[in-house]
Amino acid sequence: MMRELRASIEEISSVQVSARPIALFRIGIVALLWNRYGAMNGMFGADSDAELFLSLMFFGTTALVLVGFKTRLAAAFLFATLAMQYYVFGYGLGVHEYTHHHAYMLMLSTLIIAMGPSDRAYSIDRWLAIRAAENAGKPIPDEMGPGWAFRLMTVQMAALYFWAAVDKTSVFYLSGDWLARVFEWGYAGHILYPLLTLKLFLITASIIVLIVEYYLAAAVLCRLWLPVTCTIGIALHLCFALMLNVDTYSLTMIIGYLAVIPADRIHAAIDRLQGYRPAGAPA
């Protein structure tokens, strides 16, 4: 039994996929990190040596990850920086902005970038590899790498959807009272307040969100009905982003759908977008 399990793990870890999706994910996550923490971590706000160190590490590692130089090593240091920010500055020193579950999701995303082939596409590392191959008279390396690490993003997304749905499975939520409190906090005095606090709307919206989250928990993990799943998931997070103060959560999840769509489909779509056809392909 252990032999079969080991063989299955080796097979999963050896599957080669396009590195383009995780490279795009890498760039998007850095943009979200700058959006969320750029002002907080600026050197102008550093009041201690520890805060200055955090600032230098944050901007140094994110810059390297963005341009893709020593990408996986830089991503590992970025993960360590965000872990220090989350546990030491967040829980240790009481900086609430560093301890939100949105921050945790971003932190885990950088770990996935460090473990995956994020250096093999859209990066300085890729350019250097091509130049080295050309100088040595060797074939240009392909944009492929192990796909297991990026698949972990779908596991994380599925877990988040599932436990979010479990947390909502209660009379308090399904009665619309939970959503009413959220809208009371965000829309009191707003022109939309009378509409958003209608009992029928609150109950209907609550039921729809609960059903969708249970569905997505299974669908993103098993890659079920991809066009429908991606449309529903992205639409859900766009609604969250437009109607609620969710910071970078919705955009992180939307970018995460790069892991849900098979990498070869994304690679082929980019080729078509750029007007490239593989040798032997029909015109």
3-class DSSP string for 3-54: HHHHHHHHHHHHCEEECHHHHHHHHHHHHHHHHHHCCCCCHHHCCCHHHHHH
Measured in whole angstroms, the distance separating CA 56 from the mean position of its chain's CA atoms is 23
- pLDDT score for 7: 53
pLDDT of residue 13: 66
For the chain, 283 residues long, give each residue's pLDDT as a single digit of tens.
Answer: 466 546 545 555 678 999 999 999 999 999 999 999 999 999 998 899 999 999 999 999 999 999 999 999 999 999 999 999 999 999 999 999 999 888 999 999 999 999 999 999 999 999 999 999 999 999 999 999 999 999 999 999 999 999 999 999 999 999 999 999 999 988 988 999 999 999 999 999 999 999 999 999 999 998 889 999 999 999 999 999 999 988 899 999 999 999 999 999 999 999 999 888 765 444 4
Residues 19-35 as b/e (b if ≥16 CB within 10 A, e otherwise) read bbbbbbbbbbbbebbbe
Q: Where are the domains of the chain?
A: 14-146, 152-274
pLDDT of residue 15: 86
Tell me the per-residue pLDDT of 231-250, one tens digit each, with 9 for 90 and over.
Answer: 999 999 999 999 998 889 99
CA dist 44 and 46 (Å) reads 6
Using the structure block, give the residue that is written with the tokens 């996986």: 72
State how far the Cα of 147 lies from the Cα of 128, in Å rounded to an integer.
22
Two tokens, residue 238: 């766009």
pLDDT, position 89? 96
Amino acid at 149: A
Q: List pLDDT tens digits, range 138-159.
A: 999 999 999 999 999 999 999 9
pTM: 0.92
